[in-house]
Structure 1
Amino acid sequence: MIKKMLPEFAFSRRFAPLFATQFLGAFNDNVFKTALFVMIAFYGLARDSWLPESQWLNVGALLFVLPYFLFSALSGQLATRHDKAKLARYTKMLEVAIMALAGLGFLLQSVFLLMLCLFVMGAQSTLFGPVKYAILPEYLREKELMMGNGLIESGTFLAILLGQIIGTVIAGSSTHVVAGVVLLIAALGLASSAFMPSTPPQNPQQIVSRHIMQSTKQLLRDTKKQPELFIAIIGISWFWFIGAVYTTQLPTFVKIHLGGNDNVFNLMLALFSVGIATGSVVCAKYSKGKLNLAWVSAGAIGLSILGTILVGLTHGHAFSGSLFQCVYNGVWRITLLKR
């Protein structure tokens, strides 16, 4: 049944190992991060530290996202210079090592060690990011690229949703369970990457700059030369920024304002994901495959108004506000992706 719904290449070696590797990577990112945040917010992991629990969540979100800004240019250079499949395997080896260290952090209940692992995990994901998209044209035919991109994108969101749910569920288990789960997922990702076909380097003479900030500035200058691309990048970055803010603050919001536990937090995460999916479907249906920037304005206005309303809502009313907020988020994102 599934084979009839998906294209033939989806089950071939030139796509399936890549899909599995990126899916497991995004899945593990969110299992680890969500389990850590839930353990801090609801199970007192950072109770004896010098920072309040809510502040640790903000620090964790910053540490996970910061590598994307610092190392994106570097990761692009590495992906251009080297065999992308081999680079994917190296990043997955790094992930196994990071998760082994994170497992030790869970066993010792060391919030400092876990925050270090969160930062390095963000760096590892940054290194893998250009690989999973840049390798697609080398694996797929031109007519298969759109479907391949769509499968990777949808797989990423599914991995994020499932990772957040599983992370919340296992956070209430023993630290041995959490440590074992994240290490197992990392090992599976490494195993799947071993089946990715090798590809010739795109440009073996590509210079890999040691000056990280200089490379980042140059990357920003290059994108500014293409106004439409730059605006789309800003819009998509804003989408991810809003998503990060909401998912980071949700544990504190649920605990303090809703008086809920980790199960309520899980429900809020589900509403957040359903809202984004609903907005994406609505936008895709009514735009009829054409770029319509009115949807960007509608999404931005909806985000602003409902975000303001959500501030004043507590208890049960907050659920409806969250759902509609995310619908507008999805509308905005799908329009910018088309751009």
Structure 2
Amino acid sequence: MSDSPTASSSTDNPYAVGEATTPTDVDPGVQTTNDGPIDSLSHPSFIGFIATQFFGAFNDNLFKQLLLLLAIPTAVAATVADGTVIEGAAAVEVAGELTDGPAAKPAGGGDLQGIATVVFGLPFVVFGGLAGYLADRYSKRTIIVTSKVAEIAVMGLGLLAFLATPMIGFAGLWIVLFLMGLQSTFFGPGKYGIMPEMLSGNQLNRGNGLVLMTTFIAIIIGTAVAGPLKDSIVPAGVPQMQAASGLWIGSLVCVGIAIVGTITSLLIIRLPAADPTLKLKAEYLAIPKAMRTLLKTDTPLLIALLASCVFWLIAGLTIQAVNSLGKTQLEISDTKTSLMVSLISVGIAAGGAAAGALSRKLSDRVVIQIGMWGVVAFCAVLAISMPGGQHLLGFGGSIPVLMLLGASAAFFAIPIQVFLQARPPEELKGRMIAVMNQANFFAIVMSGVLYQILNTILTSADLPRSTVFGAMAVLFLPVAIFYRPSLDRTVSPVAPATTTPVN
């Protein structure tokens, strides 16, 4: 996902908590109190905000999935000089080049999804702290609107990068993907931090629920639409570079969505900066001392953070593995492949609702255990291939298993996320969420690195693409065996190193 891994509503700058000062950019008549000025979810400002974050999440996932689908090599028919297809002959595309092959099968060796995942996730790791600082130093509305304007520019560059791919390869697309991740990095703190500043206290929970729901819908639709859009623009079997040059039309769609999102962002009410005098310090760009002290002395909190990272490592691998399974081993269309990926999110949404209900009847620990073993079991089932490389489940059989995998992931991740948000002392909650986000995105970046390693091994050993799911099951098995969560949400007994606001 392009959105932040966690949905926090904290107003705190991740690495410094400042006192609110006199508003400098606020609508006349707006009273700035601990509650936001809006007491209705039908207010045009909130509707504009919901639309803005929806279009942002939709656009991110549409563009990213288009690029991930493009990053997978495809089988192409061999042709003679006049363009006539030679029946019975085939060429295999590897990293955008055609080579003679015994059958029309993609080799898999040119799969660049891991690189795409690293490039997109890196800005969240490197610039997450700075983004949190800016969200408190300036009005969050200003951050949101500026980010949306930047999104138009980035999507425009994406259009040019697609057109230039036959000349410069994927280099231009990697730059655009990095800028897209950077734009999302700076948009996130404004998106989540503005909620308590904008909404009154009695509307905050409902508002947060609506944001989460619309974000999930945007992710599902954006991912699902990418496949049919690519199929409608680029015929099946077209080499990567030729396909890329045709996808400028898809990028044009993304530009249009970015423009609409920018317009809706202008409806958001003007609000003051949380601390316009806040000075930038090096500590904001790394894990602050107070958080290092807390994590060193609160073992359950540290272990939960590490478990969350393992989850996001597996989550990052899953998207890449499903894309590769669909296009390379099952040899299905981009439309069906994107549908498989989007249905994982449907499973996560359903699992999130079920986890809440189960937690009221069972303990969080039991729910997490169900989730952990579910992830291991369903990954193992997805890994099975028959002799000759045919996948055991096929397209139809993989659909329910992928949804169950998503539900199991929600069982595991949601109670841990709630614990990570509730456990720290009040003055460190915002910084804990920021550390959690950066750690989770570091895990996503590492999933890209690990996928490229696994891809190289599978290609060299001529193993089916479903083997990646087997590797995921093996990676997660020690977590299922040894992790015994201690999810006492009592505030950590450890006193932070300092509770003085850093200005």
TM-score class, shorter: 0.7 to 0.9
The reply to whether residue 168 of structure 1 matches residue 238 of structure 2 is: no
Aligned-pair CA distance for 1:96: 0.9
1:82-121 aligned within 5 A: 82-109=138-165, 110-121=169-180
Kept in 1: contact 2:95–2:110 (CA 8 A): yes
For residues 59-208 of structure 1, what are the structure 2 equivalents within 5 Å?
A: 59-109=115-165, 110-172=169-231, 173=233, 174-208=246-280
Matched, 1:328 2:385: no
Aligned residue in 1 for 2:314: 242
Aligned mates of 2:304, 2:209 — CA distance in 1: 18
Which of the residues 14, 18, 29 maps onto 2:60?
A: 29
Matched residues, number: 329
- What's the CA shift for 1:71? 1.1
Distance 2:55 2:205 in 1: 22
Is 2:221–2:342's contact at 8 Å kept on the other side of the alignment? no
- Structure 1 CA distance for aligned equivalents of residues 198 and 52 of structure 2: 15
- Rounded Cα–Cα distance in structure 2 between residues aligned with 1:238 and 1:157: 21
**Separation in structure 1 between the aligned mates of residue 56 and residue 293 of structure 2, nearest angstrom:** 29
Counterpart secondary structure, 1:198: coil
* TM-score normalised by structure 2 residue count: 0.60
Q: Which runs of 5+ in 1 are unaligned?
A: 1-6
Alignment counterpart, residue 53 of structure 1, candidates 94, 104, 110: 110
- Structure 2's unaligned 5+ residue stretches are 1-37, 75-92, 99-107, 234-245, 386-390, 420-503
Query: Over alpha carbons, which structure has the higher Rg?
Result: 2
1:216 aligns with: 286
Helix, strand or coil for the counterpart of 2:45? coil
SS at match of 1:217: coil
Worse overlay, 31-40 or 307-316: 307-316
Do the aligned residues in 2 keep the contact of 1:291 with 1:338 (CA within 8 Å)?
no
SS of residue in 2 equivalent to 1:126? helix
What is the Cα-based RMSD across aligned positions, in Å? 2.8
- Matched to 1:179, the amino acid is S
Q: Secondary structure at the match of 1:11?
A: coil
Q: Which amino acid aligns with 1:221?
A: R
CA contact (8 A) 1:42 1:261 kept: no
Structure 1: distance between partners of 2:94 and 2:362: 49
Tell me: CA distance 1:310–1:83, structure 2 relative to 1, closer, same or farther (3 Å): same
Instruction: Give the 3-state SS of the residue equivalent to 1:155 in structure 2.
Output: helix
Is the 1:98–1:117 contact (alpha carbons within 8 Å) kept by the matching residues of 2?
Answer: yes
Alignment-mate amino acid for residue 81 of structure 1: R
Task: Give the counterpart of 2:342 among 252, 270, 275.
Answer: 270
Q: In 2, distance between residues paired with 1:14 and 1:338?
A: 28
Is the 1:14–1:140 contact (alpha carbons within 8 Å) kept by the matching residues of 2?
no
Greater helix fraction, Structure 1 or Structure 2: 1
Structure-2 change in CA distance of 1:26 and 1:232 (3 Å): farther
Distance in structure 2 (CA, Å) of the matches to 1:200 and 1:280 = 34
Aligned AA (2:359): S
Asked if structure 2 preserves the Cα contact closer than 8 Å seen for 1:170 and 1:177, the reply is no
| Structure 1 residues 46 and 118, CA gap change in structure 2 (3 angstroms) | farther
Q: Which whole-Å deviations, capped at 9, do the CAs of 1:78-132 have from their partners, x for residues lacking one?
A: 1011111011111111111111100111222342111111111111101111111
CA drift at 1:46: 5.2
Contact 2:39-2:199 at 8 Å conserved across structures: no
